[in-house]
Chain A
Amino acid sequence: MADTPISEEEFQKFREFFYRKTGIQFESSKRYFVDKRLVERIEATGNDTFRSYFTMLRFQASGEELQQLTNLMTVNETYFFREEYQFKCLVDSILPEIVARKSSRSPIRIWVIPSSSGEEPYSIALYLLEHWAGINDWDIEIISSDIDTRILAQARQGLYSQRAIQQLPVRMLQKYFSRVGDGYQLCDDIRSAVEFTRVNLSERADTRAYRNFDIVFCRNLLIYFDDISRKTAAETFYDALNPGGFILLGHSESMSRISSLYKVRKFPEAIVYQRSLETR
């Protein structure tokens, strides 16, 4: 690292570029985190200086290096009740609006993508059971999708490490999980509450059937996409949602930088994006 120091000007230049490309903003306090990963990629790509690496990053037509760097700059992990404030927002702000305008007793439909190993869709099911009184009055459909069939099989199995369940209250752990070897397995009732499906979000044929959802959770996925794929995903969600439906992104993601299709809703718990009620 001492061989490829990154100057303040270079850091600022990189920070502006990376923000424009990904919407991820690094504060000056993250300087060490950013420098360390930049140096790692500078060395891995055989560049000698930040300047030559930055040129490559900017002008590589495939965008492959930007993807690699983005992967490295984001903490790719998931666990139960991650970004729990969004589930609170779901229960306290979003569902009351949806329920208030439902004209029939049709189920409330939630699409969770990516499913990854299932922590997120299962967290939603658990949170609704524990915190939403409406669960007694409404049917809920949770469909969770991922491009990776192996991770979907893992999700269906519902077997987790200590790390994945560490945010869960002990009471919930005891109520919904059983010990299996070194891990914890989610009970059958919750596992069967979620439908897992394989979907490539960039493939029209895959997403065409996904309609009439009230809520989409798509957290920490779009940051891995290039601009056009991100836009395509936003358009796919638009037609997957009912008018007035909501989409929740990861805390570092912003729909406003991707598409103008959605309205920003600032709830007390979180910022959420909404398809306009008047649209068809």
Chain B
Amino acid sequence: MAFIKKSPGSETLAHEERRFARDCAGLALELESADASERRWAARDLADCPDASALLLSRLQREDDASVRELILSTLTRLGDEVAVLGLVNCLRSENAALRNEAIECMKQLPDEVAPIMQCLLADADADVRIFAVNVLESLCHPEVESWLIQVIESDAQVNVCATAVDLLGEVGSAAARDALLRLKARFADEPYMQFATDLALKRLAAN
């Protein structure tokens, strides 16, 4: 026995029988295949097709294989079109915690696409969605992050939403957040965690 050389493509699809055409209609069918590997490849290649986001989002709601779900979410992130972003927002309302977290991770990668809807998310009637929106801000590369967080701690009545925002302000905030933090501390004077969190954030801001 020994080291041998073959071309890397010697054991590829080129030698397998294709069950689906590689055009958009074929890929849409392949996305519904019983075979997870075929669904993953369809999720990748659909990126080049129009209306891919709607197809991927539809499959995402029914997909129970984690590897396929991850591929679908990656493709949606790369597409980043309006349909994809709104579909990811809908995932924030899912009862499926894994799917919610996956959607948050995707949205963090889409600062320009998520920015126009961030005000709406931060004003959502559901406090959980508002917390998830703050979670998105945690790694969102966007210049408005600090002002959005200040807006949250100035106006949100829900203590958990504000606490999530304060934790993040400690890291990304500037002197501009100082007065809002002091007002928040006074607003939640009976909440020990809020006292601790605002003090820590203020200390970090003072160190800047």
Contacts and interface: CB of A to CB of B under 8 A. Distances in A.
Interface of A: 7-10, 13, 16-17, 20-21, 51, 55, 58-61, 63, 107, 111, 125, 135-143, 145, 192-195, 197, 204, 208-212, 227-228, 231-232, 235, 238-239, 259-261, 279-280
B3 A125 contact: yes
Nearest to B139: A20
Contacts of A137: 1
29 contacts: A8-B207, A9-B204, A9-B207, A9-B208, A16-B171, A58-B141, A59-B142, A59-B145, A61-B111, A61-B141, A125-B3, A136-B1, A139-B2, A142-B3, A192-B3, A194-B3, A195-B6, A195-B7, A204-B44, A210-B12, A231-B74, A232-B78, A238-B40, A238-B67, A239-B40, A260-B70, A261-B67, A279-B36, A280-B35
Contacts, number: 108
Contacts of A59: 141-143, 145
Interface string B170-184: 011010000000000
A212 B204 contact: no
A195 B5 contact: yes
Contacts of B204: 9, 13
Q: Is the interface of B mostly helix, strand, loop or mixed?
A: helix
A135 B204 CA distance: 58
Q: Which 5 A-B pairs have the closest CB atoms?
A: A209-B9, A193-B3, A9-B207, A212-B11, A209-B12
A228 B7 CA distance: 29
B125 interface: no
B74 A228 contact: yes
B5 A141 contact: yes
Contacts of B12: 208-211
Contact of A61 (B3, B41, B112): B112
B37 interface: yes
Interface string B37-57: 100110011000000000000
B113 to A, nearest CB: 11
A261 to B, nearest CB: 5
A53 B107 CA distance: 24
B interface bracket (residues with beta carbon within 8 Å of A): 35 or more
B37 A60 contact: no
A135 B1 contact: yes
A204 B144 CA distance: 34
Nearest to A227: B109
Contacts of A8: 207
Contact of B4 (A16, A107, A197): A107
B71 A141 contact: no
A235 B44 CA distance: 10
Contacts of B142: 59, 61
B64 to A, nearest CB: 13
Contacts of B71: 235
A227 B106 CA distance: 10
B181 to A, nearest CB: 16
B116 interface: no
Interface in B43-88: 44-45, 66-67, 70-71, 74, 77-78
A110 to B, nearest CB: 10
A204 to B, nearest CB: 6
Contacts of A235: 40, 44, 70-71, 74
A259 to B, nearest CB: 6
A280 B70 contact: no
B45 A204 contact: yes
A209 B8 contact: yes
B66 to A, nearest CB: 6
Contacts of B3: 125, 139-142, 192-194
A269 to B, nearest CB: 23
Residue of A111, A140, A145 most packed against chain B (CB within 10 A): A140
Interface string B89-129: 00000000000000000001101100000000000000000
Nearest to A236: B44
A81 B67 CA distance: 33
A192 B4 CA distance: 9
Nearest to A111: B8
